[in-house]
Structure 1
Amino acid sequence: MTSTAIAIAAGGGGDVVAASVLAQRLRHRFDVVAIMSYSWDRLIVDPTPGPRGLGDFDGLTSHHELVAQVTVSTVLRGPGRSTLPPLAHYVGCPLLLMDPVGGVAGLAAQFGAASRVFGAQTLLVVDVGGDILAEGTEAGLRSPLADSMSLAAAVRSGLGLHLLVAGLGLDGELTPPELTSLLQRHGATEVAELGAADVTRFAEVWNWHPSEASGLLCVAADGWRGRVETQRDALIDITDDATIVYEVDAYGVAANSLAANLIATTSLADAEQRVRTRRGYSDIDIERDRVPALARHDEWTPAADTVGAIDRYAYAAANRGVNALTIRRVLELAGASGAGAATRLRELLKCERPHNMRPPLYLA
């Protein structure tokens, strides 16, 4: 017997793709009637630090004062764009906006209202990579705020709860030994193994979407194997293990992670400060620090030797045993950090190096 559920894309961005893939893959267990996500994109897409809220959009469809649906016609106000409206075309069910302005308390209220509107009894919290399992002390942890708030709010909502982790390690944050230890500690069980048929409908998304972790999940499910260099020099091995989906004890993770410290928060600023107190900085601090440099790069145009420089780097990477770079890494190397610059470089490479372009990968 299936349970009517709402899937929560814990980190926003590419987690929407994973949530949709798992909704279909696990339809024998869950009837997913909606997906909820932050609009919190990389600065290359939206140059405003932090997540966007209900007041930042035109064209939302209101189901309740706390429940707003993003459609293909929804538009983000101000500079940049949101990846949610174009993703709404692919996900196959209503895509609802999570607004964390009211902290975990506010998100929990949104989850509760959405469950009543759509007749759901269960939440499926979906994370790609596994950083949602982190206890907060791990050296490589970079972006715990969104995931931790999502999990804390799901617990606080009082609804039935399942935590699903796909693409273990593909976010390049926790080390394989750390992830293995956390999976064992929280009684992880394998619930699915993804294949090409699960991700086919999202193939063209990676022509424009910047997510690395979810893009690599789809690459792995499609059968590609090898070593990938991602942004900030991280190296990730795509193996058969990347296609496994785990269900983990959500309550155990919440009690032993940053989520435990956020569950009482009533504002985003409060949640951010609690993460900052624990780790010395918040995810949004990192984005704030990067904004000035990003603005200087949006007007980037290809130089005469841009493609040649990329060729030389890819050749050197191949000699180091790297099979592919993420396109996000190529953009980083070229200094094409703004949305317009990224589009121009993608188009250039598609024309000049079509055999290297396998979005989200650039083959070395």
Structure 2
Amino acid sequence: MTRLIVAAGGGGDAVAAAMLDAALYGDNEPAVILTYAWDRLLIDPVPGPRGPADFTGLELLTPAVWKVPAEARPIAPAGSTLPRLAAELPHTFALIDPGKGAEGVTRQLEELVAYLQPTSIDLLDVGGDVLARGDEPTLKSPLADSLTLAACGQVNAAIRLLVAGPGLDGELPHEDLQDMLGPRVHTFTAEDADPISPVLEWHPSEATGMLAATARGVRGTCEIRDAGLPIPLTDESPTVHEVDLDQALSRNKLARAIMSTTTLSQVEALSREICGFSEIDYERNKALWLKDQRPAKLDAESVLIQLAQFEAEARSRGVTHTTFRHLTEVLNLDGSQRDELRRLLINKRPEPYAAPLWRIPAAA
């Protein structure tokens, strides 16, 4: 009765896959989740995705696919959320290694399908950037999703493409996705979010955090990322839609172009050519910039003063919520201070905490 869920972009998509599995299948055997080890720089200071050579303690499932157990550890200076996810969730996490391009990921997927003989295969993307053409001005991270879409399009198996939380990743507005979204498969509820709630206390994914918050009924406008991007939180935010995989592949120019790639460098080069950038370049540049930055000391009094100023400015922009990742950036703190900041704010001012988001209080 094994099920396979492919987390299209890694990171938060893997956490959302666990929520989807529990919501749709309940207490049946937890699914195997195939995902990248590709975390934000605040978790992993090394740009780009991690491969098997970046870990100790992996377990071989097939000749090309490794399982990430709770005992696995990333080799410093790399970091990864996957071992902790494996420790806290009942699912099996298998590693997507993009080092050999789309052909390599296709082979990994084929081997895993042959090994598991799954009863169902879902490709899950939170937000919907897997449906990008490649020329959208708001597009920020098409590479990972396009790579998994390209691989899924070449596997001889029935794969269902699902988009959860349309527009929540800030890549494509919900209105730009509407024509592509097919039948609604599910609308997440507070009960669905419960199994991943402990994970979202520490996991940095903003999109999946907003997905869980809207499942609990949160509505408004959430400011995210270092740039303070406003994301509408609506009744459509906690929904899951099926999308025709062939139509998605036909729309996604980058996915089609990289289908025969055999290295990650080739994928990056085509991303630069088609989309005008590679998100790994962005991570490389930001990592160099962060090296020269000195984070502010996390002083409670100073933090609360700066927070009050940010909240006043955010209210003037119509913002109702934000993420702790964004607060970390706004307060000029290091990514490693995010959890400490979260504990401080919840301890000092518990009322605005709308798990896992921070609510901007109304003016006094």
TM-score interval for Structure 1 and Structure 2 normalised by the shorter chain: over 0.9
Aligned residue in 1 for 2:211: 217
Alignment partner, residue 301 of structure 1: 297
Provide the C-alpha distance between the structure 1 equivalents of 2:238 and 2:342, rounded to a whole number of angstroms: 27
By how many angstroms is 1:299 displaced? 5.2
Secondary structure of the equivalent of 1:235?
A: strand
**Residue aligning to 1:234:** 229
The correspondence for 2:327, drawn from 327, 330, 344, is: 330
State the partner residue of 2:246: 251
Name the counterpart of 2:115: 117
Alpha-carbon distance change, 298 to 353 in structure 1, aligned in 2, over 3 angstroms? farther
In the alignment, residue 192 of structure 1 is paired with which amino acid? H
Q: How many Å apart are 1:321 and its aligned residue?
A: 2.3
**120-129 vs 239-248, which moves further:** 120-129
**How many angstroms does 1:355 deviate by?**
2.4
The alpha-carbon distance between structure 1 residues 197 and 125, as it changes in their structure 2 partners (threshold 3 A), is same
Instruction: State the TM-score, normalized to the length of structure 2.
Output: 0.92
Q: Where does the alignment leave 5 or more consecutive residues of structure 1 unmatched?
A: none
Give the structure 1 partner of residue 359 of structure 2: 363
Read off the aligned partner of 2:325 and give its amino acid letter.
Answer: R
By how many angstroms is 1:4 displaced? 5.0
Instruction: Spell out, residue by residue over 1:264-307, the C-alpha distance to the aligned partner (whole angstroms, 9 max, x if none).
Output: 11111111110111122101011011012222447542245222
Greater Cα shift, 30-39 or 330-339: 30-39
How many residue pairs match? The answer is 356
1:193 aligned residue (184, 187, 190): 187
Change in CA separation of 1:208 and 1:226 when aligned onto 2, cut-off 3 Å: same
C-alpha distance after superposition, 1:136-165 (max 9, x if no partner)? 111100000000000111111222111000
Give the counterpart letter for 1:208 in structure 2: W
Question: How far apart, CA to CA, are the structure 1 residues paired with 2:121 and 2:196?
Answer: 23
Q: Tell me whether 112-121 or 275-284 shows the greater mean CA deviation.
A: 112-121
Question: Partners of 1:33 and 1:252 in 2: how far apart?
Answer: 26
Tell me by how many angstroms 1:62 deviates. 1.6
Native 8 Å contact 2:2 2:118 kept in 1: yes
- Residues 56 and 90 of structure 1, relative CA distance in 2, 3 Å threshold: same
Partner of 2:75: 77
Change (3 A) 1:12 1:121: same
Cα-Cα RMSD: 1.9
CA distance in 2, matches of 1:214, 1:297: 28
Asked whether 1:342 is paired with 2:321, we answer: no
Residues 68 and 97, structure 1, Cα contact 8 Å, conserved in 2: yes
Distance 2:294 2:189 in 1: 37
Contact conserved, 2:54 with 2:78, CA < 8 A, in 1? Answer: no
Q: CA deviation at 1:122?
A: 4.4
Tell me the distance in 2 between the aligned counterparts of 1:260 and 1:207: 37
AA matched with 2:243: V
8 Å contact 1:6–1:120 — kept in the other structure? yes
| Distance 1:230-1:182 versus aligned 2 partners, 3 A rule | same
**Number of the residue aligned with 1:279:** 275
**Unmatched segments (≥5 aa) in structure 2:** none
Query: What code does the residue aligned with 2:228 have?
Result: D
Q: % of aligned pairs identical?
A: 37
Aligned to 2:43: 45
Provide closer, same or farther for how the CA distance between residues 335 and 221 of structure 1 changes in structure 2, counting only shifts above 3 A: same
**Mapped partners of 1:43, 1:298: distance in 2:** 15
Q: CA deviation at 1:90?
A: 4.0
What one-letter code is carried by the residue in structure 2 that aligns with 1:117?
Answer: Y
> In structure 2, do the counterparts of structure 1 residues 168 and 12 end up closer, same or farther at CA, with 3 Å as the change threshold?
same
The offset of 1:224, in angstroms, is: 1.4
